[in-house]
Amino acid sequence: MARAIMLQGTGSDVGKTVLVAGLCRLASNRGLRVRPFKPQNMSNNAAVSDDGGEIGRAQWLQAMAARVPSSVHMNPVLLKPQSDNGSQIVVQGHVHGQARARDYQRLKPELLGRVLESFAIVG
């Protein structure tokens, strides 16, 4: 398995996405094989990946920074808020359904396998 670096922040909107994009570009400039990966993202800002699915726009941008084709496996679970208590769930680029927060908690064990599968593909 490839080596991985995890970046964490103290909250939302603290600059993690921009920092990762910058690190992807720096690594790419040094000739390293780098791939962004965010297992779960909550955002209404989506993009079509190079393999035809839907991912968070941030992961699409990070792939561009890394100079690699974007893939649904870079953001295997995308939650798109639809109401105050529910989201559309996009799994590996395709709509999986909708769920309220408490119902989504029950889906997590099923989704973990898909996330691990995507991580292995990206890595």
Stated pTM of the model: 0.91
Q: Give per-residue pLDDT as tens, 86-123.
A: 999 999 999 999 999 889 999 999 999 999 999 999 98
Tokens 């103290």 belong to which residue? Answer: 10
Please report which helix (H) or strand (E) contains residue 112, including its range. Answer: helix 101-122
Which residue shows structure tokens 């953001």?
Answer: 75
CB 47 within 8 A of CB 54: yes
Per-residue pLDDT reduced to its tens digit, 26-83 = 999 999 999 999 999 999 999 999 999 999 999 999 999 999 999 999 999 999 999 7
Q: Where exactly are the structural domains of the chain? A: 16-122
